Amino acid sequence: MLLAEGELEPRMLLHHPASGVAQCATGAGISTGGSTLRTRACHGLVPSGVVVQQAQALVATPVTVLFPSGISRSVQNVVGIRCEAGGGEKVGFFGRLGRVIKEKAKGDIDRLFNGFSKTRENLSVVDELLTYWNLSDSETVLDELEEALLVADFGPRTALKIVDELRNDILAGKLKSGPEIKKALKTNILNLLTRKVTSNELQLGTSRPAVIMIVGVNGGGKTTTIGKLAHRFKKVEDTKVLMAAGDTFRAAASEQLEVWAERTGSDIVLGEGEKKRPAAVLAQATKRAVQENYDILLADTSGRLHTNYNLMEELRNCKKAVTKVLPGAPQEVLMVLDGTTGLNMLPQARQFNEVAGVTGFIVTKLDGTSRGGCVVSVVDELAIPVKFIGIGEKLDDLQAFDPEAFVNALFP
């Protein structure tokens, strides 16, 4: 039995019942009898972030695959999983970068918890509702629960999905108490955050440089996020980070990015003279990143309204210019979404995705909003993962998005 090729991600466990050894499985799909289980992460055998070229199950005994959500599935004919990682120093390097970028700094969980205080306030009514829940007033409670989700900007469609699933489970007799309903509520939300997307981790490919384009509407936090990302990457020793000042629209934009470059010890390509067109700046920066062997190129772009046809076409050209210099790039097109806009981010995200092929979201300013439920809605509606969240203006206020920690911060 072969495991399909995939990225490793330390998330799920393969449990070998005979030996009792829990082995972290990794990043590949396990194909069994026609169905494919997408696994994440292999521990001990292959470092996280490394691309699995081939993985093979060794012997024949059933194993239970435990997903982070707590759901378990039995897989036949597996005893151990052997993963052969793609070779080469570059793969290893990006694996290392992947780990560091995901690393939880001390106090991260606390900061996440504090960052969500406003949204949590909106949802605190859920606990009150469920404490005194009984079967006879289920409908009223479910209505009020839906209302609380709407207030926290989960969006009508997503809120309805969550509540409908709870209603079905209550009617089927599967949920019999307030705590059970709360647990199911959290599981439902976690499923919405994970089931349509494969990975919340950056996919940087296997060769240098990896180009990350940052796009989004005005003032969402793109430039600040580039500074925060560079700060993270720079935690890996000797990482060469280049920034591209692709926002040639605003006079002060380049200077703002220059400040971040300086603060993080990154280099920067600025548009000058005739090369001031954004696509030209990005092409020039990509060339330099290739020629001078940079690891990461972080490309800033101007804020633009998703409804402005010309500016959206300009964005399309920016991406093309990067790909022309370096086929396969940009490896990531990350759209910055301003958390304070709540559900208004949905049409923006749709349009940017159509034009630029968004590979992940970074939702910023979640520290200042009571509308954090929009994170669930945007993932559910667009099937694009959230990769990072911004919970403040400082360099360290960017966190790798962890769906479980997010749900726990909303419903402690």
Ligand X SMILES: Nc1nc2c(ncn2[C@@H]2O[C@H](COP(=O)(O)OP(=O)(O)OP(=O)(O)O)[C@@H](O)[C@H]2O)c(=O)[nH]1
Give yes or no for residue 108 binding ligand X (CB under 6 A): no
Least distance to ligand X, CB of residue 246, Å: 10
Beta-strand runs (E) in 123-279: 210-215, 241-246, 267-269
Q: Output the six-digit token pair for 12.
A: 């799920």
Residue nearest to Mg ion (CB): 223
Give yes or no for residue 365 binding ligand X (CB under 6 A): yes
Whichever of 170 and 268 has its CB closer to ligand X, that residue is 268
The entry of Mg ion, ligand X, none that residue 144 binds, CB within 5 to 8 Å by partner kind = none
Least distance to ligand X, CB of residue 107, Å: 16
Part in contact with ligand X (CB under 6 A); list of ranges 33-41, 44-52, 188-196, 362-370: 362-370
Q: What is the DSSP letter of 71?
A: -
Where in 369-398 is the site for ligand X (CB under 6 A)?
390-393, 397
The single residue among 32, 331, 364, 399 that binds ligand X, judged by CB under 6 A, is: 364
Where in 183-242 is the site for ligand X (CB under 6 A)?
216, 218-224
Question: Does an H or E element contain 140, and which?
Answer: helix 138-151
Contact (CB, 8 A) for 194 and 69:
yes
Q: Output the six-digit token pair for 138.
A: 């289920």
Where in 316-335 is the site for ligand X (CB under 6 A)?
none
Task: Output the CA–CA distances (angstroms, integers) from residue 150 to 129, 362, 368, in the order listed.
Answer: 15, 22, 18
Q: What is the DSSP letter of 163?
A: H
The entry of Mg ion, ligand X, none that residue 368 binds, CB within 5 to 8 Å by partner kind = ligand X
| Alpha carbons 161 and 41: distance in angstroms, whole number | 29
Q: Output the six-digit token pair for 237.
A: 């020793």
Whichever of 322 and 398 has its CB closer to ligand X, that residue is 398
Cα four-point dihedral sign 251, 299, 273, 321: negative
* Strand, helix or coil for residue 386: strand
Least distance to ligand X, CB of residue 367, Å: 5
Tell me the residue length of the chain: 412
Least distance to Mg ion, CB of residue 378, Å: 21
The entry of Mg ion, ligand X, none that residue 17 binds, CB within 5 to 8 Å by partner kind = none
The entry of ligand X, Mg ion, none that residue 397 binds, CB within 5 to 8 Å by partner kind = ligand X
Task: Output the CA–CA distances (angstroms, integers) from residue 161 to 146, 155, 166, 377, in the order listed.
Answer: 10, 10, 9, 11
Task: Output the CA–CA distances (angstroms, integers) from residue 364 to 368, 398, 404, in the order listed.
Answer: 9, 8, 18
How many residues at the interface with ligand X, by CB under 6 A?
22
Whichever of 29 and 216 has its CB closer to Mg ion, that residue is 216
The single residue among 38, 40, 102, 222 that binds Mg ion, judged by CB under 5 A, is: 222
How many residues at the interface with Mg ion, by CB under 5 A?
2
Phi–psi pair at 54, nearest 5 degrees:
-150, 140
| Alpha carbons 409 and 100: distance in angstroms, whole number | 22
Q: What is the DSSP letter of 119?
A: H
User: Site map for ligand X, 275-314, x if CB under 6 A?
Assistant: ----------------------------x-----------
Part in contact with Mg ion (CB under 5 A); list of ranges 106-114, 220-228, 273-281, 393-401: 220-228
* Cis preceding linkage at 68, omega within 30: no
Contact (CB, 8 A) for 404 and 410:
no
- What 3 state SS string does 308-337 have? CHHHHHHHHHHHHHHHHHCCCCCCEEEEEE
Could you tell me the maximum CA-CA distance found in the chain, to the nearest angstrom?
73
Least distance to ligand X, CB of residue 382, Å: 19
The entry of ligand X, Mg ion, none that residue 221 binds, CB within 5 to 8 Å by partner kind = ligand X
Whichever of 176 and 394 has its CB closer to ligand X, that residue is 394
Whichever of 209 and 221 has its CB closer to ligand X, that residue is 221
Part in contact with Mg ion (CB under 5 A); list of ranges 120-128, 214-222, 324-332, 341-349: 214-222
Whichever of 268 and 336 has its CB closer to ligand X, that residue is 336
The single residue among 146, 247, 295, 332 that binds ligand X, judged by CB under 6 A, is: 247
> Residues interacting with ligand X, by CB under 6 A?
216, 218-224, 247, 250, 253, 303, 336, 364-365, 367-368, 390-393, 397
> Residues interacting with Mg ion, by CB under 5 A?
222-223
